[in-house]
A = this chain, B = another copy of it.
Amino acid sequence: MSKNMLIGQSGGPTVAINASLSGAVKKAMTCRQIGEIFGAINGLEGVIKERIINLRNSLKSQKDFVLLSSTPGMALGSCRFKLADKPNETYKKILDVFKKYNIGYFFYIGGNDSMDSVKKLSAYFASLNEDIKVVGIPKTIDNDLKFIDHTPGFGSAAKFIATSISEIACDSSVYDLPSVTIVEIMGRNAGWLTASAALARHEGCNAPQLIYLPEIPFNEEDFLSRVKEIQVAETSVVVAVSEGIRFADGRYVCESICSENFDAFGHKYLCGTGKYLEMLVRKNLGCKVRSIELSVLQRAACYLNSGVDIEEASKVGEAAVRFAVKGQTGIMATIKRVTNHPYLVSYESVDIDKVANFERKVPIEWISKDGCDVTKEMIEYLKPLVLGKQNIVTVDGIPSFFTFDKTLVKN
């Protein structure tokens, strides 16, 4: 007898997370073990509030799936929700809702915190002998999950970052005077996104000449002397810097220095890492300097999606459904790189206990010895992840996005 499926999204948005939703739902439609296909609005928060919609009603044609998979943000909505360490009333409420809606398969698309929920719920259901399969579908632009070659969402973000830096490099080299451009990139603790700036380099473009990851302590004097050294030969210097770089004593560059400042309303004003380096260069080198935050476009710029990323996100969603209907639970669907030339991956499963709550940083051996660049191994790793492009649907030249009819299921 078939049971129903429920899927939700959680954590921060990426360009690829809706592709995973699309892939999972599409696969589920082919599984006789799965009856109704439900979506939770705003993840587990929506489960608790019974904000549940019927996805078969919303996703009716191939066109719908294509539009959904190229839509940034999170079409089902997200939440920041952490289950208590030990089962409590909230666990019980979730179980009640699952029973009410006859849920046999629950999929949660997210990053570290979401995998924590997968771990806790699967263990809880197992402890009660409830036949509810719980499977995680990975996503995060930060690429900081363990036991996965790379996370869906990362490749598109990496492509946006590399492309933007190559464009910014063109822009910042037009005048015949020394200039420094600081580009601040997301990634509080792991430098994967900042590392991808290296892909901007091509014939005739050395930018970014310096790359600073949070894995290596940041030294101001060394930074300034390197900028000066580069300026001997090149007018325009572009620096890619992670928002999360810290000084040797552990203080975040963005926080510790500017905390003396107050904004117009008397609040402490936290300047960004890029802004701080901008001020540092201005004071010490006196040349033209500008800082740029790539902002949320890093995780939202679907126009610069990586075809490889969107396809893999969809396939990892499919794989999760395949694993669940075969009886697996307490796992995350994962991507394994089989070969790099040609680039081939396989979709496997990994025990959720291994994944949840661990953060994967950039290995030190992939950072250059001088601490301000990445190695060839890193470039080789990154290159296939930004290839190709899924066409996005546009109306009059501007992208058009998928939105769900959020009429709740009556039960």
Contacts and interface: CB of A to CB of B under 8 A. Distances in A.
Interface of A: 9, 12-13, 41-42, 45-46, 71-74, 77-80, 159, 162-164, 166-176, 199-200, 202-205, 257-258, 260-265, 267, 269, 271, 276, 279-280, 282-283, 290, 292-293, 295-297, 299-304, 306, 383, 386-389, 395-403
B72 A170 contact: yes
Contacts of A304: 303
Number of copies: 2
B73 A171 contact: yes
Q: Which residue among A72, A171, A297, A387 has the maximum number of chain B CB atoms within 10 Å of its CB?
A: A171
A349 B163 CA distance: 37
A74 to B, nearest CB: 4
A-B pairs, top 9 by smallest CB distance, nearest first, are A73-B170, A204-B403, A171-B300, A386-B397, A167-B300, A78-B174, A74-B174, A42-B176, A387-B397
A7 to B, nearest CB: 15
Contacts of A261: 261-264, 269
Contacts of A172: 296
Given A73-B174, A171-B296, A205-B401, 8 more contacts: A73-B170, A79-B175, A163-B399, A204-B401, A204-B402, A204-B403, A205-B403, A293-B295
A170 B398 contact: no
A263 B278 CA distance: 11
Nearest to A295: B292
Nearest to A258: B264
A74 B236 CA distance: 14
B264 A397 contact: no
A398 B279 contact: no
12 contacts: A42-B175, A73-B167, A73-B171, A77-B176, A202-B401, A204-B403, A265-B279, A265-B282, A306-B397, A386-B397, A387-B396, A389-B397
Contact of A77 (B168, B175, B202, B267): B175
A398 B163 contact: yes
A304 to B, nearest CB: 6
Contacts of A265: 279-280, 282-283
A226 B157 CA distance: 34
A265 B281 CA distance: 11
B72 A171 contact: yes
Contacts of A306: 397
Contacts of A387: 396-397
Contacts of A174: 9, 12-13, 73-74, 77-78
Nearest to A162: B398
Contacts of A162: 398
B264 A202 contact: no
Nearest to A205: B401
Nearest to A396: B383
B175 A300 contact: no
A383 B265 CA distance: 40
B199 A400 contact: no
Nearest to A175: B78
Nearest to A291: B295
A297 B164 contact: yes
A51 to B, nearest CB: 8
Nearest to A262: B261
B386 A71 contact: no
Contacts of A199: 396-398
Contact of A166 (B42, B164, B401): B401
Contacts of A42: 175-176
Contacts of A173: 73, 77
A339 to B, nearest CB: 17
Nearest to A401: B170
Nearest to A235: B77
Contact of A264 (B12, B41, B262, B279): B279
A152 to B, nearest CB: 16
